[in-house]
Structure 1
Amino acid sequence: MIYLGLTGSIGMGKSATAQLFRDEGVPVYDADAAVHQIYEPGGSAVEAIAVEFPHAIEDGRVNRAALREIVIDDADLLKKLESIVHPLVGETQQEFCKHAEESGADIAVLDIPLLFETGGNERVDYVVVVTAPADIQRERVMARDGMTEGILEAILAKQTPDAEKRARADFIINTVIDIDYAHEQVRSLLSAIRRKHGSK
C-alpha cells in the first residue's frame, strides 16, 4: 500500500482535488470529516471538549465556529484542544488504513490540512501539495460565508506557508486553471507512482 499525504493551505482547492482521487477509485481519508464526526452528538470528542470548553457545546454537539473563537488567539488553549482532538482523529485514521488495506487498494490518500504541522508527512510515502496563486486563494476564501480578513489571516498564521509546502512536496497539483487541469495532474501522478512501484 502506497500512502499519499494530501495537503494544501486554505482556499487552494484541496477538497476538490481529494474528490478527483476518489473519482479515480483511490480511497481517501478526510481528516476534516473525521473531526466533524467526533464533534457530532455522541461523538468521541464531545464529552472531553464539554469539560474544557463548555461554551463551545450546543445541542449536544461541538459548535466549531464558537470553539474557533475561543482558541484562535490563545496558543495554550489551542494546544489543549489539540491534545484532545488529535488522538481521537488518529484512531479514525488507523481504522481507515485498515479498511483500505483490506480492500486491496494499491494507493490510498490521507487528506490532512495540517499534514506538515502535525508531522504527518513523516508517516506517508509521498506528499502531494495542492496550490494556487495567492490572489486566487484569497478570492476563493473571502467568498465563503462568515469569512473575514481577520479570520483568514489568523488561519494562515497557523499554517505552513504555501511556498514552504511546495518546497517540501513530492508532487504539486496546481488548481489555477480549472478542475479538468487538476484532474489531468492527478491521473499523471497516479500513473507515475504505479509505474515506479509496479502496481496496477
Structure 2
Amino acid sequence: MSLILGLTGSIGMGKSTTTGFFREAGVPVWDADAAVHQLYAPGGAAVAGIGALHPAAVFEGAIDRAALRAWIAADATALKQIEGVVHPLVGQSRADFLGDNAGAPLVVVDVPLLFETGGDAKVDRTLVVSAPAEVQRARVLARPGMTEDHFQTILSKQMPDAEKRARADHVIETLTLDQTRAAVFDLIADLTGSRPDA
C-alpha cells in the first residue's frame, strides 16, 4: 500500500507550485479542487444532482459557480444540499485515484481544507505548505479580480496558518522555487528512502 501524504495550506501559500514538484518527481497527486472542477464541468457527475436541487445552477450543461454562490447566499440550507451531492463523488474520485496508484510508494492528496474537514484522519502523514503572512498577502492580492475584502473572507474560513503548522507532520516554506523543490525532494527521500532524480 502507498503512503498517503495529505498536503494542505492556506490561499497563496504555494500549494500548486509544491504539488508540481511532487509530480515532477513522479509522485502521483490527487487534487480535491481539480476533482470538484471536473464534477462541475459539462457532463460532470455532479451536474445532474445539483441541477435537480436547483435548476438555475446549471448553464449550458455545467455548474454555474456564480449561480451556486448566489443560491448559497440566499438559502441557508443550500451548502448542505450541495455537499450532499458533491462529497460522495469527491470521495469516489479519491478512492479511484488511490486504487489506480496502489503500487506507488508515495501518493499525495491535495486538500485545501484538510484539517477543517477532518481529512487528516484519512492520510498517513500531513504536509503544510506555508509562507510568511506578508508574502501570502502579496501573492493573493496580485491575482486578477482579488480584493482585500475577498481575501479576508477566504482567510476567515480557513484554519490559521500557525495552527496548521502546529498540527502538521511536515512543513515546507515556499519562499523560492529552488528551495521549495529541494524541500520536496528531501521529503520524498525521507518518506520513501529513495531520492528522486534531481
Instruction: With the length of structure 2 as denominator, give the TM-score of the two structures.
Output: 0.90
How far off its partner does 1:10 sit?
A: 0.7
Deviation per residue, 1:65-110 (Å, 9 max, x gap): 4423442686642222222211111100000000001xx2100000
How far off its partner does 1:57 sit?
A: 1.9
The answer to whether the 8 A contact 2:27-2:106 is kept is yes
Distance 1:18 1:41 in 2: 26
* Structure 1 pair 183–62 and aligned structure 2 pair: CA distance change class (3 A): same
Give the root-mean-square deviation of aligned CA atoms. 2.0
Task: Name the aligned partner's letter for residue 39 of structure 1.
Answer: Y
Q: Calculate percent identity across the aligned residue pairs.
A: 52
Deviates more, 1:82-91 or 1:143-152: 143-152
Task: Name the aligned partner's letter for residue 98 of structure 1.
Answer: G
Distance 2:24 2:164 in 1: 25
Helix, strand or coil: the match of 1:128?
strand
* Structure 1 pair 8–59 and aligned structure 2 pair: CA distance change class (3 A): same
Structure 1 runs, 4 residues or longer, greater than 6 Å off: none
Partner in structure 2 of residue 128 of structure 1 = 127
Instruction: With the length of structure 1 as denominator, give the TM-score of the two structures.
Output: 0.90
* Structure 1 pair 75–182 and aligned structure 2 pair: CA distance change class (3 A): farther
Distance 1:52 1:63 in 2: 14
Task: Name the aligned partner's letter for residue 29 of structure 2.
Answer: V
Deviates more, 1:89-98 or 1:113-122: 113-122
Partner in structure 2 of residue 83 of structure 1 = 84
* Structure 1 pair 65–141 and aligned structure 2 pair: CA distance change class (3 A): farther
Partner in structure 1 of residue 37 of structure 2 = 36
Partner in structure 2 of residue 137 of structure 1 = 136
Helix, strand or coil: the match of 1:144?
coil
Deviates more, 1:144-153 or 1:85-94: 144-153
Distance 1:74 1:184 in 2: 46
How far off its partner does 1:59 sit?
A: 1.1
How far off its partner does 1:29 sit?
A: 0.4
User: Map of 1:140-179 to 2, 5 A cutoff?
Assistant: 140-176=139-175, 178-179=176-177
Task: Name the aligned partner's letter for residue 134 of structure 1.
Answer: A
Distance 1:23 1:72 in 2: 40
Deviation per residue, 1:123-146 (Å, 9 max, x gap): 111000001111111111122222
Deviates more, 1:42-51 or 1:68-77: 68-77
Deviation per residue, 1:7-61 (Å, 9 max, x gap): 0111111011001000011000011111111101111111121233333322110
The answer to whether the 8 A contact 1:27-1:109 is kept is yes
Unaligned runs of 5+ in 1: none
Deviation per residue, 1:163-185 (Å, 9 max, x gap): 11100000001012x11110111
Are 1:186 and 2:187 matched, yes or no?
no
* Structure 1 pair 75–188 and aligned structure 2 pair: CA distance change class (3 A): farther
Aligned residues: 195
Partner in structure 2 of residue 15 of structure 1 = 16
Distance 2:128 2:43 in 1: 34
